[in-house]
Structure 1
């Protein structure tokens, strides 16, 4: 049996209700395949936490002591230099061996609240956020306008392939 792409640590029991480990494995594989990367060559660490834990992480790493939905820590800086350009392609540190793409944390309460406010299922919203987090690990970002358009278009494409509607349509 293959090693999982996503090593999932559940810190918040509410995540068990949507099988975050299984969902994140399927979604991360879909993202890597979309990006023409071999899912069996990489690994990702994901923490399913609560709002209190993600607020601590957000304060520590971003200086924002509030809950957020998802945080990502890429193992490599792959960001494009020019707004709207594709990020750099990740290269393993040791060719032929699995390598880490980075870490993701996702908070149940914020995700559930956002899903309810948007009239979406928690499953669909979390699927979107895992895609978003994995794309961050691959160097995509949304601070600059053209970068945001590129990242959103990829999210929408992957969501459609997974049978989930465009979350950016009003």
Structure 2
């Protein structure tokens, strides 16, 4: 197992994947990237909570499918006169990746509108969000190409079609 998951179900929605599904999807990402023992929280919510979080953290007063909150390493403040040997400070990514918040109703609506199998869309949202926690982004075209290519590769490992093809 490569992902240590804290799964929080705070939704009354239908078609919420199992713990095993979430584990498979996150493990697929981490294994492909040769990462082990990374911890993350996945919180499954309803529309009111995702809208409030989207408004609070992104300034967008609307629902969304998934929000990613990468862990930010706090600065280390040492008392005066105390120093650390620079060789003892690791540049490795911390084991704590961060939090994903996924909206049940938005995922279901998108899957229906895009003619996708709902479990496949859930897998895509979890993989997409996990990649964000790992620092991948899609703001710039070249970044989007890299991230989408990786998503397609990971979903293919799960026997899931390219989510970016026309449906």
TM range (shorter): 0.7 to 0.9
| Residue range with higher mean Cα deviation, 131-140 or 6-15 | 6-15
Q: By how many angstroms is 1:148 displaced?
A: 0.3
User: 1:49-83 deviations in whole A, cap 9, x for unaligned?
Assistant: 01111000000100001000000011148xxxxxx
Q: By how many angstroms is 1:147 displaced?
A: 0.2
Mapping for residues 21-170 of structure 1, pairs under 5 Å: 21-38=19-36, 41-76=37-72, 91-92=93-94, 99-170=95-166
Measured in 1, the distance between the counterparts of 2:146 and 2:163 equals: 15
The DSSP-based 3-state class of the residue aligned with 2:68 is strand
Measured in 1, the distance between the counterparts of 2:132 and 2:2 equals: 22
C-alpha change, 1:3 and 1:34, in structure 2 (3 Å) is closer
Measured in 1, the distance between the counterparts of 2:52 and 2:101 equals: 11
User: 1:146-167 deviations in whole A, cap 9, x for unaligned?
Assistant: 0000000000000000000001
Of structures 1 and 2, the larger Rg is shown by: 2
Gaps of 5+ in 2: 74-90
TM (norm. structure 2) is 0.83
TM (norm. structure 1) is 0.82
Q: By how many angstroms is 1:21 displaced?
A: 2.5
Gaps of 5+ in 1: 78-88, 93-98
